[in-house]
Amino acid sequence: MTVIRSLMPYRAGTALGTLPDIVETGEAYTAAGGYHGAGSPDRLLDHIADAGLRGRGGAAFPVAVKLRTVRDGGARPVVVANGEEGEPGSVKDRWLLRARPHLVLDGLDRAAEITGATRAYVYVSDPYAAARVRQAIAAWPPRTPTEVVETGHTYVAGEETAVVRRINGGPALPTAKPPRPYQRGVGDRPTLISNVETLARIALIATSPERRHEIAGSTLLTLSSSDGGALLSEAPYGTSLRTLATVQGTTRATGALMGGLFGGLIGPESLDLTLDGTELAAAGTALGCGAIRFLGPGSCPVATAADAVGHLRTESARQCGVCVSGTAAIADTLRQLTTGTAAPDAEERLLRWSSGLPGRGACGLLDAAAGAAGSLLRVFPALVRTHLGAVCTDCATAPPSGGHRLVVPVPPVMDHPAQQAQAFPEPGSERVSPSSPR
C-alpha cells in the first residue's frame, strides 16, 4: 500500500492540502480560498513568471512561457489537463484527480482565462479519477466548458501528440512532430497540454500569490523501493535524495532509478544530490515526473534496468520499427545478463544502442530504454561485467518482472464526512486510511 508522508506542513497552500486521504469537496475548497483571488489573468501570469513555476510532467518547461506561447498562437486555443500517468512508479497525478479535483479544475480554468481558451478537457485513464472529476464539474461547473476524455492506460498515452490524437477521436498514439500541440492541436487549434500538478500549482498561486515562490519551489514525489514500501510525498526543492530515501524507509540505499523510467540509474555517490534540475542534469540524471525508486543492499541494478526496459518493451506503441526492435534488443540483452547467459559482447552492444538509438522514435519511449541501459553501463560498469557468464544471486532471487515490480498503487482516498474532523499528524508521520491495515 502507498501511504502519504510529507516533508512540509499539511496545510492549505500545499498540493497535499490538509487532509490528503479525504476527497475535497467544492465547499471545502472554496472555504479555504479556492476559486478566488489573483485578480486579472495577466496579473496571475505575472505571478507565475515571477515564481519561476516549471511544469511537473517531466520536461520542467517554464509554465509562463508555455502559457504566453499558446495565448499568442493566433487563434482561440484549447487547454488540456493531462492526467494520464504512464510512468508505472508515479501516482501523484491520479491522486490529485481523485482527492483534489477542484484544485485541478481551478487551475485549468485559470489557464483557460490566461490563454483565452474557450474549451477545456481533462484527459485521464483512471476511471475512479474520471468519476471524481465529473462529480466535481457537476457540483461546481467551471467557467470554461470542460469535458472529461478517458483513454486506455499506457506508457505513451500521455505523450502530448497522443493526447491530441485521442481527444480528436483517434487512438492515443504519438504522431510525428512538427506541428506540436501549441502550434496546432485539438481541433487544429493552439493547445496547451499541462500536467495536472502544474495546474494545481497555478491554482495555489492564484489563491495565495504572496506564497508563490514557496508553491513553485516544492513538488510532489512518488517514492518507492525494491523492498516494496511506497509513499506519496511533497518536498521542497533542495531536499537531498538521501533524505528522501530515509523518509521512504531505505536507510542503506545503494542507488536509485530516477524520474520514473526516464532519469536512468544513479549510484550511491549520487544520493547527496538534491532536488535541483540543474544539479541533477549535470550528474546525468533527471527528476522527470518525480518518481524515484531507491535500491537497497539486496537490489541488483542490472535487474532494475531489466525491469524498466522490459516494461517499456511491452508498452511500445509499435508504430516505429526502430522502437520495436531497439527496445526488444535492449530488454533481451539485459534479461540475459540477469541469468548469466549474455554473449561476451553484450556490454559493447548495449553501449552502441544507448548512444545510437535516442531520438529515433516518435516519442520518448525508445529514449528511456536506451537511457536506462546507458546509465547502467555508466554508473555500474564493473557490476555489468560480473554478470557476463555468471549468475547473480540477487538477480536469481528477484528475476526481471517485465516492470510489474515498478508499479505503485494510488494511496486510498475516502469520502466519508465523519472523517473530515480528524486531526492530521505532524509532518513526517504517516497518513493511512483507518480502513486499511498498518
In terms of domains, do 51 and 198 share one?
Answer: yes
In terms of domains, do 208 and 306 share one?
Answer: no
- Assign 417 a pLDDT band (cuts: 50, 70, 90): low
* Edge-to-edge order in the sheet of strand 255-258: 2-4, 230-236, 218-225, 291-295, 255-258, 264-266
Assigned C-alpha cell, 407: 508499479
Residue 418's pLDDT is what? 41
Work out the percent of the chain whose per-residue pLDDT is above 90: 82
| 8 Å CB contact between 80 and 192 | yes
The angle at the Cα of 342, spanning 336 to 344, to the nearest 5 degrees, equals: 165
Assigned C-alpha cell, 107: 487551475
In terms of domains, do 190 and 337 share one?
Answer: no
119: β partners? 78
Q: CATH number of the domain that 367 lies in?
A: 1.20.1440.230
| 8 Å CB contact between 92 and 221 | yes
In terms of domains, do 192 and 312 share one?
Answer: no
Q: Is 26 part of any domain?
A: yes
Q: Is 172 part of any domain?
A: yes
Q: Is 277 part of any domain?
A: no
| 8 Å CB contact between 50 and 210 | no
In terms of domains, do 147 and 16 share one?
Answer: yes
222: β partners? 232, 291
Domain count, the chain: 2
Q: What is the pTM of this model?
A: 0.92
Q: CATH number of the domain that 106 lies in?
A: 3.40.50.11540
Q: Is 222 part of any domain?
A: no
Q: Is 290 part of any domain?
A: no
| pLDDT per position as a tens digit, 164-218 | 999 999 999 999 888 999 999 999 999 999 999 999 999 999 999 999 999 999 9
In terms of domains, do 20 and 144 share one?
Answer: yes
- Assign 364 a pLDDT band (cuts: 50, 70, 90): confident
Three-state secondary structure call for residue 33: coil
Q: Is 230 part of any domain?
A: no
Average pLDDT for 55-76: 94
Q: Domain range spanning residue 30? A: 2-215
- Assign 430 a pLDDT band (cuts: 50, 70, 90): very low
Question: Is residue 283 scored above 90 in pLDDT?
Answer: yes
| pLDDT per position as a tens digit, 128-140 | 999 999 999 999 9
The DSSP-derived string for 370-421 is HHHHHHHHHH-HHHHHHTTTS--HHHHHS---TTGGG--PPPP-B--GGGGG
In terms of domains, do 311 and 193 share one?
Answer: no
Assigned C-alpha cell, 35: 476559486
Amino acid at 338: T
Q: What's 134-171 look like in SS3?
A: HHHHHHCCCCCCEEEEECCCCCCCCCHHHHHHHHCCCC
Residue 332, Cβ density class (10 Å: 0-12 exposed, 13-18 middle, ≥19 buried): middle
Q: Is 268 part of any domain?
A: no
In terms of domains, do 208 and 320 share one?
Answer: no
Q: Is 264 part of any domain?
A: no
